[in-house]
């Protein structure tokens, strides 16, 4: 399902990505899983945050070519005057990680079919989705165990 976020009165918009520190990186053959995880975490800790222009992001996200931001995480803060700040992170076109920071006077949420949603309805849909996901995984685990 597609969700549309409409921001009215945008006050700021920033996009960042993590640039990998230049140089070679590899995990030695035969490394234990714990050692592999440590080496990867160590390498990722050397990344630096870089700005990306908003225009570049707009050019990269086009509905005609099914280019999207696949949201992995998001957080929202609402002020007493209903202004909103968002932090959205995810994969741009299923390939590169981006973080978006937005501040606006108002946020309106709707589904791809145009039905308007409030934040409560969106969160409820998320709960239903993850509950069903967990049930499917448990059922799949039980059926694998019976084979």
pLDDT higher at 82 or 14? 14
Domain count, the chain: 2
Instruction: At 13, list the tokens.
Output: 């918009």
Whether 68 maps to a domain, the answer reads yes
- Which pLDDT does position 128 carry in this prediction? 93
Exposure on the CB side of residue 32, measured as CA atoms within 13 A: 3
Same domain assignment for residues 142 and 119: yes
Residues 100-126 have a mean pLDDT of: 89
Q: Please tell me whether residue 24 adopts helix, strand or coil conformation.
A: coil
Residue range of the domain that includes 140: 115-147
pLDDT in the model for residue 4: 85
CA angle (28, 24, 96) in 5-degree steps: 105
Mind listing the pLDDT tens digit for each residue in 41-52?
888 788 888 899
Nearest residue to 91 via CA among 55, 57, 44, 50: 57
pLDDT tens digits for 13-40?
A: 999 988 877 778 888 899 999 999 998 8
In a domain, 40, yes or no: no
Q: Is the pTM of this model over 0.85?
A: no
């Amino acid at each position: 399902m597609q969700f549309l976020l409409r921001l009215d009165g945008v006050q700021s918009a920033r996009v960042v990505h993590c640039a990998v520190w230049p140089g070679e990186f590899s995990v030695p053959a035969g490394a234990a899983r714990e050692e592999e995880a440590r080496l990867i975490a160590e390498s990722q800790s050397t990344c630096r945050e870089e700005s990306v222009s908003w225009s570049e992001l707009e050019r990269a996200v086009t509905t005609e070519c099914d280019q999207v931001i696949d949201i992995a995480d998001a957080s929202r803060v609402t002020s007493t005057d209903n202004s909103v700040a968002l932090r959205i992170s995810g994969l741009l076109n299923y390939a590169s990680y981006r973080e978006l920071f937005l501040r606006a006077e108002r946020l309106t949420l709707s589904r791809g079919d145009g039905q308007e949603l409030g934040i409560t309805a969106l969160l409820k849909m998320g709960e239903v989705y993850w509950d069903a996901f967990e049930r499917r995984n448990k059922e799949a685990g039980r059926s694998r165990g019976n084979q």
